[in-house]
A = this chain, B = another copy of it.
Amino acid sequence: MELTILGCHSATPRENKHTTSQLLEVSGNLFLIDCGEGTQIQLRKSKVKFSRIQHIFISHLHGDHFYGLIGLISTFRLLGRTAALNVYGPKGIKEIIILQLKLAKSWTDYPLHFHELEKDFSEIIFENDSVKVSTLPLVHRVYTNGFLFETKSSKRKIDLEVLKEFDLLPFQFQQLQQGSDIILDNGNVLKNEAYTLPPSKSKKYAFCSDTAYLESLVENIKEVDLLYHEATFLEKNSELATKTKHSTAKQAAQIAKMAEVKQLMLGHFSNRYSNKEEFITEASTVFQNVILAEDLKTFTI
């Protein structure tokens, strides 16, 4: 998995501070998570091929997480897109986008599918051969979901060099990957465990923004490889966090610790803090492996 942060700041976009958007590459799939105003410019800076994005996940309908969506949808049309686009987001997102396309008399030339979310429990919303995406219900001022991305790696690993001597057919390689033994023409048996290794462990990325401190989240993000958790505030402004249903760096670290995640990434910083290192300092008192999100930086999970 490769995660590129397009924007990790809260509230309003500034010249060098972009609001929430992330690009996640998983086994050849390219997912866009949230889409604040100006995301399409950040995408251009990241040099990504726009047409590769086929699924966009929107956490909630606050502007700093989705005001760039209508512009991106329009730009896809202007770029001559033909591939279908799937948008997953809170109920109401379809009405907003469709109304704007209608008034602009600018319907997309490509299929545009909306998958509106309104459940208050975790559900699988996308799945293919290589990846599964589930919602992570969060608690904020409006209906909000985080998203859990998991690779699916059911195939056992085979060593082509070692198997070369047996002159296997393609379907036999597939059988080995699926865990079966192979009976050769001479009657000999290739025991699966002797020629294969277990599948790679599934990789998991959990995106959790925006949310108040939420212990019920823990069970759904247990042992993920990377947890992106919002940390809009520091503890010195914890009353603001409570009031606005956001989290502090320390609270994010508490969730990370309870969920025993491998690494915690903080983001969604309030513009009031000039020194971002304070977020690391505060979170580290609770959970050690913590990093900061940074606009246009790519992280390997």
A interface residues, Cβ below 8 angstroms from B: 11-15, 37-38, 40-41, 44-45, 61-63, 67-68, 70-71, 74-75, 78-79, 90, 92, 95-96, 99-100, 103-106, 141-142
Contact = CB atoms under 8 A, between A and B. Distances in A.
Given A13-B71, A62-B106, 4 more contacts: A11-B75, A12-B40, A37-B71, A61-B100
A90 to B, nearest CB: 8
B103 A61 contact: yes
A211 to B, nearest CB: 16
User: Which one of A40, A96, A103 has the greatest number of beta carbons of chain B within 10 Å?
Assistant: A103
Nearest to A63: B74
Given A70-B67, A96-B100, A99-B99, A12 B78 contact: yes
A63 B67 contact: no
Given A13-B40, A37-B71, A44-B14, A92 B96 contact: no
B96 A103 contact: yes
14 contacts: A12-B40, A12-B74, A13-B40, A15-B41, A15-B44, A15-B45, A61-B103, A61-B104, A62-B104, A63-B104, A63-B106, A95-B99, A96-B99, A105-B141
